[in-house]
Structure 1
């Protein structure tokens, strides 16, 4: 595959049209491309299957990225190529076609207000507007966009555009890694949009288009904030405050190693109500307050653009969302009804799929939202 020769995917290839995520065409039984979620601390792979009787999971794989390789670009790429190649062999994946998601730290999401322009002029106007505002050279920038809706500014109607940007060098590096892993990359997505694609199949009624849902993807290195109306993305932002910062605060407060702090948070998140949990959340008060403030700023921006369209509820996903106390605390401070999202709701699991990694269908699996969404959003017939 030539560098940056992107095919069907989203936002770095045109899977989204006018901000609306294209729906699956459930006509024949077939396996969809593999969703490869390249997170900061782990890689998840999920392949979905569509049939007349609904959705099923064909295969799933999970591998943690060793801490000593997470911040070493070459070591990270070498590890990813090797573990993905091994997963293709050792798990019941069908074929090697896939959709990748770039790690959140490799992308920049910007909301831009533009005058009403012909579609063919928006890309040029965006590049001019973003000049000097990206953490990489404009000549190295790949910029894709979706239209979120109409707004007003300077006394005139404007388009609210969500621009998704990444470095060409970074993208080429991940495409080269995928080639070494023997993946056939059909396209590239971002975590924020994949989350909405994961749950978009549940919002098919006409009334759903008027309902605004807040998705909060609580990850290790970042928190993705996404607002959707039905399956239409109307807001997206990448916050840098996330699980790693929580682990660091706990490690320093209790004077324990970082790995132990992470394990402690994970274990206490599953067993609520202990004195240890109260001590832990006392330590987390400051970063939790900061995260809630940043989330509130996101909601205020949304409300300034989409007036009189209130947010109905919050759905928490991501690896950190397994901590019920964390989700409850954030939801209470936002004063919104909330739930922990389960990407596998209404999904049948084929025999053996996910068994190797211990997917427990009795509990929500919020960490799998991106991987499942990548696969579901990649119907090759679209």
Structure 2
């Protein structure tokens, strides 16, 4: 979390709003002001009504007290989060992050994709382990809270949880700021990014105590390490903050660099006591019951029986309040028992009460009687090193401000727990605004460059205009002279070259036709069909409709030698493609031919027009195949007539193209094959027409492709 010099901590309670403003400077830590305002809504108000009242109260407090601080840390109820303490193997930052996310997926009871996961890492007494405080919240809950925060109009630098803020607010009284001051190079200003003494990190410092889910910089790690250097707790404390709608519990772990050992939010609070009094006394409104609770209600403890003047209290209200307190104390007792039952759990030495509802008469003594542990009411700040205004002296009651103080301490960077649920986009803006000095310097540098560049550009522009004027004057003086004649001659030559280029461009055709066609063949080929050879022939070689070549000595044999001229009757826009291959079944071959045939009339922009596709011939019997082993296969030859409507199918450019003719597939012996010339009748098939010496030969030579799928 980013640290600032002055920060607000606002506790958005359901009964009242508490605000604490703190500052951290060279003079130390100071509490500037603490304010509280009661919300003018009852417990049965809708969430929208409560939010509207909260926004109005905060804006009114800021305006009335002329508060100029904009940085604020707020908190969400502890009941909205999932919390676990886990121990993991010690690892480096990125590796440890992956391990924590994997563990979170196993622990969190709702989808990780809809969850915001934050964590904080603490060192343990074991060299190979670290302790991780894993906290998760539903994303939609966080988004709903952020809508309220935006309406307040302040600049949030952190979003915490009530139970974690309670720990920071109570734990601040145990921090020795003088020790931190001396370790920071003199003065608490070192906490704000000043010059610090460099120290060599040990192996245990690799993870860094207090490392959050987003990571912390070196300054944060040093400060948090300093916080860990506070002398070990002499006693294990359980902090219990009784609010209006819920009660937060945070238990400290003993030892050097102590962290939180257990946190929980109990859904019982002061409003439940007020509602019980309203019902028991038959009061009409919640406000009347609240007044009765404050003025004439106490818990029926042993001290009450011996010390209190019962005539000053309403016994029905006292009885109703005691019943609710019994339920609350039972839940606190369960929480302490759970902490003790953990492998590293120990007995709690003292319970510290705070919160507005903790002021209920004789409640502290009653809790001590029921739990059997000493109980204190945290009504003082508890740390003389924190300076306060005169109005917040020893007589000021801090009981209701522990969470607000903990939030402000987290914003100043002196809180031990730094889990932050501020959304990533807001966090990026916060980090960016923290670097406004560097950004302002960069803007100033760019502005200076633009200014001097514009001055240089203006000077260059003036020189250009002067040169242009001289050139125009020279041209006007020599309009009818030699220069004009040379210009005319050059323009004439340019026109001649452009006309020749236009003629040549008509002969230059795209060279990717065959690649497009082969791509089309590949897309049409079934999975269980093997292509062994493809021969592409444009008609400038004189391919006849029957498949013979005009340049060869005899039909089906290789053509004439290279150097055959382009026949005048040939059509360079059309050609023949021979496709040889094998398949396990004849219907697979027929499907392939059908797919090729269906491409007739393809869109012109594809430039792949198939005029006709024919199964020219195929082997009469299935034979052993290396590709389809152990299954036999049927060998085939397909003839495809293609045409390019946009240009010719020449593969080289010349006024009279000379190409080496390609050997076409030989026609098999009559009655030895099946195919188009035999009507496709399988009974007319004979031997294999694709093997040498058996009535035919494989196509070879010329442009094509070898075996492939």
The answer, yes or no, to whether TM exceeds 0.5 is yes
Which residue of structure 2 lines up, in the alignment, with residue 379 of structure 1?
412
Q: Is the 1:102–1:190 Cα contact (8 Å) retained in structure 2?
A: yes
The answer to whether structure 1 residue 93 and structure 2 residue 132 are counterparts is: no
Q: Is the 2:237–2:252 Cα contact (8 Å) retained in structure 1?
A: yes
The answer to whether structure 1 residue 266 and structure 2 residue 239 are counterparts is: no
Q: CA deviation at 1:294?
A: 1.2
Counterparts of 1:349-360 in structure 2 under 5 Å? Answer: 349-350=388-389
Counterparts of 1:298-317 in structure 2 under 5 Å? Answer: 298-307=335-344, 309-317=346-354
Q: CA deviation at 1:78?
A: 2.7
Report the Cα distance in structure 1 between the residues aligned to 2:350 and 2:409, rounded to whole angstroms: 23
Q: Is the 1:343–1:368 Cα contact (8 Å) retained in structure 2?
A: no
Q: CA deviation at 1:124?
A: 1.8
Q: Is the 2:7–2:408 Cα contact (8 Å) retained in structure 1?
A: yes
- Pair 71,141 (structure 1): closer, same or farther in 2 beyond 3 Å: farther
Q: CA deviation at 1:126?
A: 4.1
Report the Cα distance in structure 1 between the residues aligned to 2:315 and 2:365, rounded to whole angstroms: 14
Which residue of structure 2 lines up, in the alignment, with residue 368 of structure 1?
401
Report the Cα distance in structure 2 between the residues aligned to 1:92 and 1:122, rounded to whole angstroms: 48
Report the Cα distance in structure 2 between the residues aligned to 1:196 and 1:32, rounded to whole angstroms: 20
Q: CA deviation at 1:242?
A: 1.5
Higher relative contact order (CA 8 A, sep 6+): 1
1:337 to 374, 392, 396: 374
Aligned length: 342
Counterparts of 1:52-201 in structure 2 under 5 Å? Answer: 54-68=28-42, 71-105=45-79, 107-111=80-84, 113=86, 116=89, 118=91, 119-131=96-108, 133=109, 138-146=112-120, 161-201=132-172
Q: SS where residue 310 of structure 1 aligns?
A: coil
Counterparts of 1:223-238 in structure 2 under 5 Å? Answer: 223-229=247-253, 232-238=259-265
Q: SS where residue 99 of structure 1 aligns?
A: strand
Q: Is the 1:58–1:93 Cα contact (8 Å) retained in structure 2?
A: no
- Pair 63,325 (structure 1): closer, same or farther in 2 beyond 3 Å: same
The Cα offsets for residues 197-224 of structure 1, whole Å up to 9 and x where unpaired, read as: 1232332475434531100010110010
Q: CA deviation at 1:55?
A: 3.8
Q: SS where residue 156 of structure 2 aligns?
A: strand
Which residue of structure 2 lines up, in the alignment, with residue 281 of structure 1?
318
Q: CA deviation at 1:51?
A: 4.9
Which residue of structure 2 lines up, in the alignment, with residue 292 of structure 1?
329
Which residue of structure 1 lines up, in the alignment, with residue 584 of structure 2?
none
Q: Structure 1: where are the runs of 5+ without partners? A: 1-6, 10-29, 152-156, 354-358
Which residue of structure 1 lines up, in the alignment, with residue 267 of structure 2?
240
Q: SS where residue 56 of structure 1 aligns?
A: strand
Q: CA deviation at 1:193?
A: 1.4
Q: CA deviation at 1:148?
A: 7.2
Report the Cα distance in structure 1 between the residues aligned to 2:104 and 2:288, rounded to whole angstroms: 45
Q: SS where residue 244 of structure 2 aligns?
A: coil
- Pair 49,269 (structure 1): closer, same or farther in 2 beyond 3 Å: farther
- Pair 126,89 (structure 1): closer, same or farther in 2 beyond 3 Å: farther
Q: SS where residue 67 of structure 2 aligns?
A: coil
Larger gyration radius, structure 1 or structure 2: 2
Q: Structure 2: where are the runs of 5+ without partners? A: 177-229, 416-709
Q: CA deviation at 1:158?
A: 8.6
- Pair 366,348 (structure 1): closer, same or farther in 2 beyond 3 Å: same
Q: CA deviation at 1:145?
A: 2.8
Q: Is the 2:39–2:57 Cα contact (8 Å) retained in structure 1?
A: no
The answer to whether structure 1 residue 49 and structure 2 residue 73 are counterparts is: no
The answer to whether structure 1 residue 211 and structure 2 residue 235 are counterparts is: yes
Cα RMSD over matched residues? 3.3
Q: Is the 1:218–1:317 Cα contact (8 Å) retained in structure 2?
A: yes
Report the Cα distance in structure 1 between the residues aligned to 2:342 and 2:120, rounded to whole angstroms: 16
Q: Is the 2:280–2:316 Cα contact (8 Å) retained in structure 1?
A: no
Q: SS where residue 325 of structure 2 aligns?
A: helix
Q: SS where residue 311 of structure 1 aligns?
A: coil
- Pair 74,36 (structure 1): closer, same or farther in 2 beyond 3 Å: same
Q: SS where residue 87 of structure 1 aligns?
A: helix
Q: Is the 1:149–1:234 Cα contact (8 Å) retained in structure 2?
A: no
Q: SS where residue 397 of structure 2 aligns?
A: coil
Query: Which of the two has greater strand per residue?
Result: 1
- Pair 302,308 (structure 1): closer, same or farther in 2 beyond 3 Å: closer
Q: SS where residue 412 of structure 2 aligns?
A: coil
The Cα offsets for residues 39-63 of structure 1, whole Å up to 9 and x where unpaired, read as: 1222111101335555432123322
